[in-house]
Each structure stands twice: as structure tokens, then as C-alpha cells.
């Protein structure tokens, strides 16, 4: 397993993020309250100096939250455009190593961030900005009668998991092994949203996805909690790439994810922050 990259704590990363944002604002000398209203400038608020395009690769489980943060960042920084591509973190890491021009990488595990960091492609230390835990998603009506983690090992119950190299797949294997369960998946998917789709369509009786994915799916699936406080979680890390095409804008976007407003948005989506 690759050596995990050195990481900043959430508190240290948030302080660094605030410093970066302050450095990217013109005439920032006065302290004041935070204004997170999209597209609005508070009286006395410094005009952002950041412009340009920001290219972000983000874990699929961040789709809804990072999409909203990108919209808010663009509103707060006129002249910027944030383009986000989502997928399994392992595949995104390979894209970066292969030379894809990227400003910011938001990964769902330290292992996949290590792939990029060990290749010497990360500027500074990656920062942990959130954590997530697994939850069982079942189709509406729970046709497979799945009410606990142990039910996933019941003969005849079809289960979708992420592939082992994807963070949600690696975490699923940890959770199942810790519970002593032998679950033979009916399908292995390239990312967590693909697992969720299998459940939504009723193609499987259950899928192991993140808590945030069950919340984002709304009434399209039902969630079955994994009642184990000791169950492992996965850490989400963000980093600006060393050869970023737009380093200043990339730094500013990552700082926004780490800011109180970004952390609140993640918490509201069900991510574990702080």
C-alpha cells in the first residue's frame, strides 16, 4: 500500500485556506463577518482578484456538494469558471499521473491521494476536508428484506459494491471483514454513484454506499444504517497540483472548500467535518 501523504488537520487547513483567500483579495485589510450569499457582495467586502478557469477532479460522492460550491465560488469570483469532473478516485488519480491538466484534486481516500503525491505532483501537503461512512441503500420497499449488515450475506440477496481499488470498495471490504461477513457481490462498480444507480433501478437488493449518497438520493432509495460506532470511515483529501494551469485560482477554490462556508456545506450534505 502506498505511504499516505503528509496531511494537514482540518483546523490547520482551514486557517491556511483563510490566509490564501485573504491573499487573493484586493485591499483586504479589515476584518469582518462572513457573507456566504451567492452572487452578493457585503458592504466593505473586498473584491476578489481571482480570475480564470479552475479544473477540478473530484470523487463521485462529492457530486452534489462540490457542484454547489463551484457555483458559489463563481458567483463570489466573477471572471472564474470552475469545471468539475467526477469519478472513482482511483481512476481520477491515474488521469492526473498520466498528465491530465488539473488544478485541484479532491479524493475520497488517502490511498488514492498518495498515488498522486508519491508521483511528486502535489503542491504542499494534502488537507483532510471531510470524512464519510458507509450506509446500506436498498430499493424503495426493500424487496430483499435487508434490515442489517448481516443480511447482505444471506443467500439469494444480491449486493452491489464498488470495485476494490475504489475508496468506497476498499471501505466496504474493511467493514465487511470487521463484521466477519462473506458477501459475494452480484456486481462491482467503478464508483459509488454507479452502485447507487443499481439500487435505484432495482437491479440489486442492496448496495454499500456512503451516508451522503443515501441522503442525496432522497426518496429514490431507502437507507439501512450500519449500527457500529467502530466501523471505519474514509477521509477526503484535497490538494492543488504542482503543475496546475491556474495555480492562484486553484489555491483559492481549495481554500473555499476548507473555509467555514465550505465546511458548513459539506456538513449540511451529511459529511463528517471538524
pLDDT at 25 over 80: no
pLDDT of residue 229: 80
Angle at 133 between CA 165 and CA 201, to 5 degrees: 75
In the predicted structure, residue 20 carries a pLDDT above the cut 50? no
Per the prediction, the chain carries an average pLDDT of 87
Does the domain made of 134-224 have the CATH classification 3.20.20.10? no
- 10-25+52-131+233-268 CATH choice from 3.30.420.60, 3.40.190.10, 3.90.1010.20, 3.50.50.60: 3.40.190.10
Span 182-217, pLDDT tens digits = 999 999 999 999 999 999 999 999 999 999 999 999
Q: Residue 216: what pLDDT?
A: 96
Convert the pLDDT of each residue in 47-95 to its tens digit: 447 889 999 999 999 999 999 999 999 999 999 999 999 999 999 999 9
Q: How far apart are CA 21 and CA 258, in angstroms?
A: 10
Q: How far, in Å, CA of 131 to CA of 147, rounded? A: 24
Domain 10-25+52-131+233-268 and domain 134-224, same fold? Reply is yes
Sequence ranges of the domains in the chain: 10-25+52-131+233-268, 134-224
- Identify the CA nearest to 4 among candidates 108, 113, 104: 113
- Give all strands (DSSP E) within the chain, no chain letters: 52-59, 80-87, 104-107, 122-132, 134-139, 159-162, 187-189, 206-210, 221-224, 234-241
74, 81 in Cβ contact below 8 A? yes
Under 8 Å between Cβ of 83 and 53: yes
Evaluate if residue 27 carries a pLDDT over 50.
no
User: What is the structure's pLDDT at 230?
Assistant: 79
| Separation of alpha carbons 156 and 186, rounded Å | 10
The predicted model scores a pTM of 0.83
Q: Does residue 17 or residue 207 have the better pLDDT?
A: 207
Residue 35, pLDDT > 50, answer no
**What is the model's pLDDT at position 231?**
86
> Do β-strands 206-210 and 159-162 pair in parallel, antiparallel, or remain unpaired?
parallel
235 strand-pairing partners: 131
Amino acid at each position: 500500500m502506498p505511504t499516505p501523504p503528509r496531511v494537514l488537520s482540518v483546523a490547520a487547513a482551514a486557517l491556511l485556506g483563510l490566509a490564501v483567500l485573504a491573499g487573493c483579495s484586493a485591499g483586504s485589510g479589515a476584518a469582518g463577518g462572513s457573507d456566504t450569499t451567492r452572487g452578493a457582495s457585503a458592504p466593505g467586502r473586498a473584491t476578489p482578484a481571482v480570475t480564470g478557469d479552475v479544473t477540478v477532479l473530484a470523487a463521485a460522492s462529492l457530486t452534489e456538494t462540490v457542484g454547489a460550491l463551484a457555483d458559489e465560488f463563481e458567483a463570489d469570483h466573477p471572471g472564474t469558471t470552475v469545471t468539475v469532473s467526477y469519478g472513482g478516485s482511483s481512476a481520477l488519480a491515474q488521469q492526473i499521473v498520466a498528465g491530465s491538466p488539473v488544478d485541484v484534486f479532491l479524493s475520497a481516500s488517502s490511498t488514492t491521494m498518495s498515488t498522486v503525491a508519491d508521483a511528486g505532483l502535489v503542491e504542499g501537503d494534502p488537507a483532510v476536508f471531510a470524512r464519510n461512512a458507509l450506509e446500506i441503500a436498498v430499493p424503495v420497499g426493500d424487496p430483499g428484506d435487508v434490515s442489517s449488515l448481516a443480511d447482505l450475506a444471506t443467500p439469494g440477496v444480491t449486493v452491489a459494491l464498488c470495485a476494490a481499488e475504489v475508496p468506497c470498495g476498499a471501505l466496504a471490504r474493511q467493514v465487511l471483514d470487521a463484521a466477519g461477513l462473506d458477501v459475494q457481490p452480484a456486481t462491482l462498480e467503478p464508483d459509488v454513484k454507479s452502485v447507487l444507480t443499481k439500487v435505484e433501478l432495482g437491479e440489486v437488493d442492496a448496495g454499500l454506499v456512503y451516508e451522503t449518497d443515501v441522503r442525496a438520493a432522497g426518496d429514490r432509495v431507502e437507507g439501512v444504517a450500519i449500527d457500529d460506532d467502530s466501523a471505519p470511515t474514509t477521509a477526503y483529501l484535497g490538494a492543488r497540483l504542482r503543475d496546475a494551469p491556474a495555480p492562484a485560482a486553484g489555491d483559492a477554490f481549495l481554500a473555499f472548500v476548507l473555509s467555514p462556508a465550505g465546511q458548513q456545506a459539506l456538513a449540511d450534505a451529511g459529511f463528517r467535518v471538524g
